[in-house]
Structure 1
Amino acid sequence: MDILQIAQQVAGVLEDKKAENIVTLDIKDLSTIADYFVICHGNSSTQVQALAAELRKNLMESEIEISKIVGYDAARWVLVDLGDVVVHIFHRDEREYYNLERIWGDASIVG
């Protein structure tokens, strides 16, 4: 599975779990951090944790290595590091505040 397919799988899992406003940014020409950011939000801390838990379960079943998950307990901004794909699962309020799409405004949005 290539990196874009992993990002697409992540977006699909999040969509199935009812994440809001899912955006996949192609940042490979802008940064060495990762190739793709997948960004979404939930409307409550419970939903943010449910999104992260479902994503973790799906990735483990697909044998996709998770480097790190941070922010799960606070459930305000959960970061799931898959190496070349970094997933940002925000609480709605934090997503509006940090506005990663604006910060990475030069990135192209992937389908």
Structure 2
Amino acid sequence: MNTEEIAALAVEALEDVKGKDIVNLNTSELTSLFQRLVVATGDSNRQVKALARSVEAKLKEAGIDLVGTEGEEYGEWVLVDAGDVVVHVMLPAVRDYYDLEALWGGQKPVFHMGGGKPWQAV
């Protein structure tokens, strides 16, 4: 299975658990550490954990060996490392603060929390 197919499986797993603002970036020209970066947002710590578990289960079911998972204890930012594909699932405030899309050449999503004003980290 190639990296695009693995990333597509991860995106599918995120969509299954209603992940938001899913971004699938090709990083092959930027680093040799991994080929694809998938970033998604969950509404709560519980959903962030569920999104990460969904990705783990879908990839393992497809026979993909995972390098590891980090951040499940708190559920603010969970990373699922599948070697050439790395998946980050974050709460909106954490995602806005770290802005991984800007680091890796993607488009930053705009978060709207409640009153319609865009969310920004202080």
How many Å separate the matches in 2 of 1:2 and 1:104?
A: 20
Shift of 1:68: 0.7
Aligned to 1:27: 27
Tell me the amino acid that sits aligned with residue 11 of structure 1. Answer: V
TM-score by length of 1: 0.91
Q: Which string of whole-angstrom CA distances, capped at 9 and with x for unpartnered residues, describes residues 32-90 of structure 1?
A: 12000000010100000111111111122111111010001111111111110000011
Please give the secondary structure, in 2, of the residue aligned with 1:14: helix
Distance 1:62 1:32 in 2: 24
Distance in structure 2 (CA, Å) of the matches to 1:27 and 1:84: 10
Contact 2:9–2:58 (8 Å) recurs in 1: no
The structure in which a higher percent of residues are strand is: 1
Counterparts of residues 26-105 of structure 1 (less than 5 Å): 26-105=26-105
Q: CA deviation at 1:2?
A: 1.0
SS across alignment from 2:66 = coil
* Bigger radius of gyration among the two: 2
Identity of paired residues, percent?
38
Q: Secondary structure at the match of 1:73?
A: coil
User: How many residue pairs were aligned?
Assistant: 107
Q: What amino acid sits opposite 2:97 in the alignment?
A: Y
RCO higher in 1 or 2 (8 Å CA, sep ≥ 6)? 1
RMSD: 1.3
- 8 Å CA contact 2:17, 2:51 repeated in 1: yes
Question: Secondary structure in 2 aligned to 1:89?
Answer: strand
TM-score by length of 2: 0.83
SS in 2 for 1:22: strand
